Amino acid sequence: MLTKEQKEFYEENGYLMVENVVDPELLARLQSVTAEMIEASRELTESDERYDLDRGHSAETPRLTRIKLPHKQNPVYWEALTQSRVTEVLGDLLGPDTIINTSKLNTKAPGGGAAVEWHQDWAFYPHTNDDLLAFGLMLADVDEANGPLMVIPGSHRGPVLSHHVNGVFAGAVSPDDPDFDLSKAVTLTGKAGSMTVHHVRLLHGSAPNMSDRNRLILFYELAKADAWPILGASSYIHSLGQRRFWEDIQSRVVTGAPVLEPRLESVPVRMPLPPAPDNSSIFKTQQTAGQKSAFAVM
């Protein structure tokens, strides 16, 4: 699927744009199901296990930041990951045995939909090695106006910056950090059906959506099966007990099979503790910890 040049670009820069990874028929089904899910959120007055609501959400004007775990809410999202060119890209970059950590459909509402402050996914969930990545499948065209993903090329090979402020894990880096150079940022725009890829240690963020359209990006966060969680978002597994833990691992296999020998690499780790006052989502973590916004100074 990927060319030698694309693989080398990803290795060097920590990100990639891959066009047309789902065919028009599958894309149309993804768009239809997503529209139905947004429509169903009208009845809500507060976030729940399915949705994160944005400021100003109402029955008349549904405004979401995120649909949670879409791959568990409708089989078409799982199909897109496991039975399309998305699956081929996954194999090219992580090999034959892969696990999904989580998924989310960031719906970023028009007219100021919430920003995601600059961060490295690795800060949220360190593993025994850093063969992890995120796919961002665009379900609608993404341009400069509607809060596209921004990345800093090569930052995956640099330090893991502090994501702490005021004594808590803030889920965002300080714009004043000397190792954070916003001048190097690259904006990733594209057509519906295209997909971004970014390494787990790559610095990335996205500005508010100032357009009149939702920004719909379906994110899958994935790991090579020999990368085992140390702490963070994936560490819920430690509370399951052995039998339920094994069932959970098997349910998250995307390709291949579980690997029972974790690969231990010398990777930089800083624990995401203590938690922010509200750590129920990345948005709440970033809002309640009190970290200075990088977008406020752009």
Residue 235: per-residue pLDDT: 63
> Residue 101: inside a domain, yes or no?
yes
> Residue 20: inside a domain, yes or no?
yes
For the chain, residues with pLDDT lower than 70 are 233-235, 238, 297-298
- Six-digit token pair at 77? 């999202």
Q: Interhelix angle for 4-13 vs 85-94, to 10°?
A: 60
Containing domain of residue 44, as a range? 4-160+181-268
* Nearby residues of 65 by Cβ (< 8 Å), 6 or more positions away: 52, 53, 54, 106, 107, 108, 109, 113, 114, 281, 283
CA distance 277 to 284: 8
> Residue 283: inside a domain, yes or no?
no
Residue 284: per-residue pLDDT: 87
Exposure pattern of 149-165 as b/e (b: 16+ CB <10 Å)? Answer: bbbbbebbebebbbbbb
> Residue 94: inside a domain, yes or no?
yes
Tell me, what CATH number does 15's domain have?
A: 2.60.120.620
Residue 268: per-residue pLDDT: 95
Please choose, from the candidates 166, 22, 35, 37, the residue with its C-alpha nearest in 3D space to the C-alpha of residue 85: 22
C-alpha dist (Å) from residue 218 to 69, 200, 263: 10, 16, 29
> Residue 174: inside a domain, yes or no?
no
Residue 233: per-residue pLDDT: 61
Burial (CB count <10 Å: 0-12, 13-18, 19+), residue 10 = buried
Residue 252: per-residue pLDDT: 95
> Residue 285: inside a domain, yes or no?
no
Asked if 66 contacts 51 with a C-beta cutoff of 8 angstroms, the reply is yes
Residue 109: per-residue pLDDT: 84
Please choose, from the candidates 80, 60, 56, the residue with its C-alpha nearest in 3D space to the C-alpha of residue 70: 80
Total domains, the chain: 1
3-state DSSP helix/strand/coil % of the chain, to nearest 5: 30, 20, 45
* Backbone Cα Rg of the chain: 18
- Give the pTM: 0.94
> Residue 173: inside a domain, yes or no?
no
Residue 81: per-residue pLDDT: 98
